[in-house]
Amino acid sequence: MNLNEKTLERKDIYKGRVLNFHVDKIELINGKTSTRECVDHPGGVTVAVLTQENEMLFVRQFRYPYKEVILEAPAGKLEKGENPFEAAKREQREETGAVGENYVNLGKFYPSPGYTDEIIYLYTCRAKSFGEKDLDEDEFLEVQKIKIEKAVQMVMSGEIEDGKTQVLVLKTAQLLKDGKI
């Protein structure tokens, strides 16, 4: 069965600095029409940086939509035309000061495919060295190290609520268990 929907028309609603919104009129597979509200996003990256003691580097930062401080893996938005792997290395250095080695590509993650085209690219690496953070002028965060086993427990108990971080922690823990990192 062909499950693809056909776009009949697109109406741009808003163009912002990071996000764009549009509403599409579409044709369903049964020939009827419907609408789809979409958020266009440039995509992002996240990286699990592991110390030699199998501690993972996390960042705590205030996330305005939730009005709370969230524990997350280092992450960031892709710049136009930026290579995801290079963006991951840039974000980890900016947010944690860590320079990595032995990177593993963990694939990609669709955070909310019902309304956005955002793709988050996932990586893990070992920390080779540590330097100074290089945060954006509007970025404020704290770095925290957590043993990977504890991080898995935190995912399972709901202490880590961020979806991309949950996926990253569980994939990284499995690779460690399998001896692939």
Is 137 part of the annotated catalytic residue set?
A: yes
Asked whether the predicted pLDDT for residue 135 surpasses 90, the reply is no
The pTM of this model reads: 0.93
- Return d(Cα 162, Cα 11) in angstroms, integer: 31
142, 18, 169, 6: which is closest to 80 by C-alpha? 18
pLDDT of residue 181: 86
pLDDT of residue 134: 81
pLDDT of residue 43: 97
What radius of gyration, in Å, describes the C-alpha atoms of the chain?
19
Listed by start position, the domains of the chain span 6-40, 44-177
pLDDT of residue 139: 81
Region 49-71: mean pLDDT is 97
pLDDT of residue 53: 96
Asked whether the predicted pLDDT for residue 49 surpasses 80, the reply is yes
Asked whether the predicted pLDDT for residue 116 surpasses 80, the reply is yes
How far is CA 42 from each of CA 76, 83, 90, 165, 166, rounded to the nearest angstrom?
11, 12, 16, 19, 21
pLDDT in tens, 71-111: 999 999 999 899 999 999 999 999 999 999 999 999 999 99
Region 129-136: mean pLDDT is 84
106 neighbors 124 (Cβ within 8 angstroms): yes
44 neighbors 118 (Cβ within 8 angstroms): yes
Domain 44-177 falls in which CATH fold?
A: Nucleoside Triphosphate Pyrophosphohydrolase (3.90.79)
128, 145, 140, 144: which is closest to 94 by C-alpha? 140
pLDDT of residue 77: 95
Given 91, 94, 137, 149, the catalytic residue: 137
Region 149-162: mean pLDDT is 98
